[in-house]
Structure 1
Amino acid sequence: MVKHIKGIPSVKKAVYDLIASRRDIAKADIMEHFRLTSSSLTRLLDEMTREGWIMESGFGQSTGGRRPILYQINAGARYILGLDISRIYSVLGLYDMEMKPLELLRWNMDEQMTPQRLVEHVGRQTHELLLRHQLDREQVIGMGVGAVGPLSREQGRILNPLYFAAPGWNDVPLRSWLEEATGLPVILENGANTALIGEHWMVRSENIRHMLYVHIGTGLRSAMMSNGRIVHGAVDMEGSIGQMIIQTDGPRLHGSGNYGALEAFASVQAVEQQVRARSKMSREQWTGGSLALKPEAINFATIVQALDSGNEYVREIFAQSAAYMGIGLANLINVLHPEHIILGGVMISANDLFYNTAIAVAEQNIYYSDSYQPEFSRGILQETAVSTGAAVMVWNEMEI
């Protein structure tokens, strides 16, 4: 178990969290949030300053007496590693205490990237990162990991994920392997939850308490935050959105999962299947541009090229897929009622058509549309949301 985790945050950590969220905050403002005497808070701030966790950042406005001292966290007090393990690529980031990346490393998850090779690669890259930035291992609090699920957070294991290019990803004790390879404590969470944690960090000053994150890529993944906390089910539910039934007795993706499930209409694989099928039936429709290919050679990259070049048939498939996604979003929104919905993944970044259509359909089907208007966005972090959120997990649960 990660040695920095504790169940209830100390007053010291709570004060630190407040200073981090506000930046340049005076002692009087801190006292409004805690039942501490002035002398007790002064001693605590002096202790945190001596230990290097916070530092004085100047003086505030005078209200009649001396100008108050302002405090902010020391970004270089410690460092955290955030790891994003996805089906297509992975990212390892070194972050300071303000969650600013000092360096980000990215590599493809090809047929050779088995769990053992990934762990060896992360261990080697961790060592080289610390050397390049002249850091001792003791200066690093730990490593957070956001990985494709389903997984067991308690056991630190990836269970039975789909669609990895390399073999061997079933029942992987990832946390213990990474701890051994890096010499650091490790926290494991599914990638959708981790991405939402990262995006929430970026808007934490806006006091958004209820957020929904949906990743639309090779598969569909989602995460929900209620009252500022990630919602966990009895089992890891990262990919459950993909099995939401949109059309009774509809198709299944690759012959598995629910009939008429959302993933069979609104995912990279679903779009690839539909384009290939239509190209076989109506070959003359695909004789121009990037789709002058055999159906089996068509992939998502060539489909996006055709969409960008104005291919009407691809546009029709994309728009239809996005409309199904909008229905799925409306179903989630009508149950969960988030304030803010973030859409991510390659289907969102590929072309504005999918994003705009999905939102338009969702908004048309929100039940409390007159009094309830959630906000939609692509997020702030986007491609680095998972690695940043993984680092934030460690930040949230550390002791000081």
Structure 2
Amino acid sequence: MIKELLGRHSPKFHGMKEVYRVIHQENPVTKAKLLERTNMTQTTVVRHLEELKQYGLIRIASYDESSGGRPPALYDIEPEAAFIIGIALSRAETTVTIADMSFQPVAEETFAMTENHTPAFTLSLLKQTITSLLKQHHIDNVDILGIGIGTVGPLDREEGVMYPDGFTAPGWEEVSIVAEMQEAFQMDVFLENGANTAALYESLRHRFGRESILYCISGWGLRCGVLANGTIMQSRKGDATSFGNMIIDASSGRTLSSFISYHHLAGETQRSMQIPETKTDKNDVMQYVLQELENRNPMVESIVLSSAYYYGVGLANMINVLHPEIVVLSSELIKLSPAYYEKVIQTAECFISQTDQQRPVFQRAEDNVNPTAVGACVLAFHSTFI
């Protein structure tokens, strides 16, 4: 039913979409609020509400308190009127999430990315995973609003092509992921940087407000997603790693990423503990770092906290330029080490200018969902409905 609504372009259906969009954003909402938000006449709003109910897209959730007379109805979306597929594709793992129209996940599956996960194999696995999840949960293709993909860049959003590097498997030079998924499922597919879709997920906490959000994902590199007044701030090349190229040490030309990446932490650990670089893989060293961090190894803690200082300096620079209201940090180090997180924030606060005018709210990323995948669902909704 929802695809029928989206596929029509008459003024009548445009008005229905607008009423539905406001209900989705404000839910639950009264008719009086809809009149205020849409600037439509009461007759028009009432007609759209009745038609949306007939389509099965909205429902009366409850009734508001009455100030005398009949209590006003509170309208809400019907969550299972349609579903959205979100894909989070990274160098380490890939997650497929199916969410309902309220962005609550109803199904999810994750698989690791290895040296065998070439583009062809990964795309085949994605198609199999989506088909299997839809079958398991008795969801038909006609009930899917679309597919959102949050992944690593660089990428071309218009052409739907990825140009990433750093994957363990070969072949990830130029991947037409959107065309492949469109051909397989015959539906709209939307491509964006994973850091940006994670920022879109964060906007759910604020019910699609006009907040400005900076979402930083650190690990082997640094990826940053930015929402400016609720809208993705897109880089021309579709690359979310540009903030990591910020120069932190002018004398050496070293960048922020070079001070905070897992490559740096693994290298510093090898040097401090005199581990021959030729005998140990960086991934193995980093696993050792994370393990010893949990064990409160003082030498490892010192290396990690030194890195946190530079992260805080770089973060302050971003905040001074972007003026975000909310800053979210995501990484294994953030999860494992409260001291690391606190050092990053404390350092950033020391270098933020005009603190009387801008005091962003700092947050850790949530653990109970995949923000990039659910944010990709939000991307698909935004791209088709707003």
The 2-side partners of 1:190 and 1:383 are apart by: 18
Which residue of structure 2 lines up, in the alignment, with residue 223 of structure 1? 225
Q: Kindly provide the amino acid, as one letter, of the partner of residue 65 in structure 1.
A: G
Which residue of structure 1 lines up, in the alignment, with residue 143 of structure 2? 139
SS in 2 for 1:95: strand
SS in 1 for 2:249: coil
Report the alpha carbon displacement of residue 6 of structure 1 after superposing the two structures with TM.
Answer: 11
SS in 2 for 1:236: coil
Q: In the alignment, is the contact (CA less than 8 A) between 1:147 and 1:191 conserved in 2?
A: yes
Which residue of structure 2 lines up, in the alignment, with residue 256 of structure 1? none
Report the alpha carbon displacement of residue 242 of structure 1 after superposing the two structures with TM.
Answer: 1.4
The 2-side partners of 1:273 and 1:342 are apart by: 27
Residue range with higher mean Cα deviation, 8-17 or 181-190: 8-17
Which residue of structure 2 lines up, in the alignment, with residue 101 of structure 1? 105
Report the alpha carbon displacement of residue 318 of structure 1 after superposing the two structures with TM.
Answer: 0.2
Which residue of structure 1 lines up, in the alignment, with residue 185 of structure 2? 182
Q: In the alignment, is the contact (CA less than 8 A) between 2:293 and 2:336 conserved in 1?
A: no
Report the alpha carbon displacement of residue 381 of structure 1 after superposing the two structures with TM.
Answer: 6.0
Pairwise CA RMSD: 2.4
The 1-side partners of 2:334 and 2:289 are apart by: 14
Q: In the alignment, is the contact (CA less than 8 A) between 1:266 and 1:324 conserved in 2?
A: yes
Report the alpha carbon displacement of residue 5 of structure 1 after superposing the two structures with TM.
Answer: 9.4
Report the alpha carbon displacement of residue 137 of structure 1 after superposing the two structures with TM.
Answer: 0.8
The 1-side partners of 2:212 and 2:15 are apart by: 25
The 1-side partners of 2:44 and 2:281 are apart by: 70
Which residue of structure 1 lines up, in the alignment, with residue 172 of structure 2? 169
One of 235, 251, 262 as aligned partner of 1:233: 235
Q: In the alignment, is the contact (CA less than 8 A) between 1:267 and 1:347 conserved in 2?
A: no
SS in 1 for 2:38: coil
**After the TM superposition, which residues 1-400 of structure 1 pair with which residues of structure 2 at under 5 Å, given as runs?**
10-159=14-163, 161-204=164-207, 207-250=209-252, 259-280=253-274, 295-296=280-281, 298-380=284-366, 384-399=370-385
SS in 2 for 1:71: strand
Aligned length: 379
Report the alpha carbon displacement of residue 162 of structure 1 after superposing the two structures with TM.
Answer: 2.5
Residue range with higher mean Cα deviation, 41-50 or 350-359: 350-359
Q: In the alignment, is the contact (CA less than 8 A) between 2:26 and 2:207 conserved in 1?
A: no
Q: In the alignment, is the contact (CA less than 8 A) between 2:213 and 2:326 conserved in 1?
A: yes
The 1-side partners of 2:251 and 2:177 are apart by: 38
The 1-side partners of 2:299 and 2:8 are apart by: 55
The one-character-per-residue Cα deviations of 1:85-127 (angstroms, maximum 9, x if unpaired) are 0111110001100000011100101111111111101111111
The one-character-per-residue Cα deviations of 1:277-331 (angstroms, maximum 9, x if unpaired) are 22227x9xxxxxxxxx965474222111112212111111100111000000011
Structure 1 portions without partners, runs of 5+: 251-258, 284-292
The one-character-per-residue Cα deviations of 1:189-226 (angstroms, maximum 9, x if unpaired) are 01111110111122226x35211111111110012111
Q: In the alignment, is the contact (CA less than 8 A) between 1:334 and 1:366 conserved in 2?
A: yes
Report the alpha carbon displacement of residue 131 of structure 1 after superposing the two structures with TM.
Answer: 1.0
User: TM-score normalised to the size of structure 1?
Assistant: 0.89
The 2-side partners of 1:217 and 1:225 are apart by: 21
C-alpha distance 390-296 of structure 1, shift in aligned 2 (>3 A): closer
The 1-side partners of 2:178 and 2:230 are apart by: 25
SS in 2 for 1:171: coil
The one-character-per-residue Cα deviations of 1:107-164 (angstroms, maximum 9, x if unpaired) are 10111111111110111111111111112111111110001111111110001x2321
C-alpha distance 89-296 of structure 1, shift in aligned 2 (>3 A): closer
Q: In the alignment, is the contact (CA less than 8 A) between 2:21 and 2:385 conserved in 1?
A: no
Which residue of structure 2 lines up, in the alignment, with residue 290 of structure 1? none
Report the alpha carbon displacement of residue 249 of structure 1 after superposing the two structures with TM.
Answer: 4.2
The 2-side partners of 1:182 and 1:15 are apart by: 29
SS in 2 for 1:72: strand
SS in 1 for 2:61: strand
C-alpha distance 382-219 of structure 1, shift in aligned 2 (>3 A): farther
The 2-side partners of 1:310 and 1:35 are apart by: 59
Q: Kindly provide the amino acid, as one letter, of the partner of residue 275 in structure 1.
A: T
Q: In the alignment, is the contact (CA less than 8 A) between 1:126 and 1:182 conserved in 2?
A: no
Identity of matched residues, %: 32
Report the alpha carbon displacement of residue 12 of structure 1 after superposing the two structures with TM.
Answer: 2.3
The 1-side partners of 2:291 and 2:128 are apart by: 37
